Amino acid sequence: MSSSQLLKGILEGCLLSIISQGETYGYEMIEKLNQHGFTMVKEGSIYPLLLRMKKEGWVETSQKQLPSGGPKRKYYKLTEQGEVELEEFKKRWDTISSSVERLLDKEG
Partner 1 sequence: MELSKESEDFIGRLQVYLMASGKKEKEIEEITEELKDHLHEAERRGKGIEDVVGNSPKEYMEQFSQEMPLDKGMIFKVIPLIYIGALAYLLIGEIMDGGVEFSLLEAVGYPVIFLFIIGIYSFGLRYISSSRPARWKEWLIYGIAGFAPMGSFVALVFFNNQFSTPTVEFGTAGNVLTFLFAAAVFIGMALWSKLWAPIIIPVLLFVPEYLIGLTELSTSTKLILTSSFILIGPLVYFLILFKKENKSST
* Site for partner 1, rule CB under 8 A: 25-27, 30, 42-45, 47-48, 51-52, 55, 70-74
Question: For residues 101 and 15, what is the distance between their CA atoms, to the nearest angstrom?
Answer: 23
DSSP secondary structure code for residue 70 in this structure:
S
CB of 47 to partner 1, least distance (A): 6
Angle between the N-to-C axes of helices 80-107 and 3-20, in degrees from 0 to 180, rounded to the nearest 10: 130
CB of 91 to partner 1, least distance (A): 25
Q: Which is nearer to partner 1, 64 or 90 (CB)?
A: 64
Q: Which is nearer to partner 1, 47 or 95 (CB)?
A: 47
Cβ(52)–Cβ(34) below 8 Å: no
Question: For residues 56 and 60, what is the distance between their CA atoms, to the nearest angstrom?
Answer: 10
Q: Which is nearer to partner 1, 56 or 87 (CB)?
A: 56
CB of 25 to partner 1, least distance (A): 8
CB of 20 to partner 1, least distance (A): 20
Q: Which is nearer to partner 1, 51 or 96 (CB)?
A: 51
The order of strands in the sheet holding 59-64 is 24-25, 73-78, 59-64
